[in-house]
Amino acid sequence: MEFGSMDQDGSPHPLSEINMIPLIDVMLVLLVVFIVTAPLLTRSVKVNLPKADTKTSSVKSAVVISLNRDLELFLDDAPISREELERTLRLRVERGESPTVELHADGEIAYRNIVSLMALLQNAGVTKLSFITEPDNKGANHSG
């Protein structure tokens, strides 16, 4: 059976054109999906991470806490106070979750601020903490 169309003369002609409308619809949907998801893939908190010769993190669902140069705290890119952060983490621990915290701290801030944040995390019941750094290619060939 051959596909064809009925013309005025009654003779069937083979269908030889491609309908582009479904293709354009699919491409527009994909474009919208990429436009919506692209901003979600980038971190919005600007933190100057210290450089270190380390391996990459393999934690799947970590809680990301950022501490910028102005000592502002962020929980997964949303600003948060110290009290709210401790309350949120304590609730997760009480629910039975054992959150792994990834700490993105600016390399220019004083160590006492990091220790203060670590004490807050410990008081909230967090037992797993990862310090996130940027790769340092210069330190790969050091001897010691």
Domain with CATH 3.30.420.270 in the chain: 51-139
pTM: 0.56
Q: What is the pLDDT of residue 1?
A: 47
Domain 51-139: state its class.
alpha beta
Q: Calculate the alpha carbon distances from 74 to 6, 46, 64, 68, 104 in Å.
A: 66, 11, 8, 8, 9
Q: What is the pLDDT of residue 131?
A: 82
Q: What is the pLDDT of residue 142?
A: 46
Per-residue pLDDT of the chain (144 residues; tens, 9 = 90+): 455 555 555 566 666 778 888 889 999 999 999 888 877 776 566 666 667 666 665 556 788 899 898 989 999 889 999 999 999 999 988 988 878 888 888 888 888 998 999 999 999 888 888 888 777 766 544 444
98 CB-side CA count, 13 A = 3
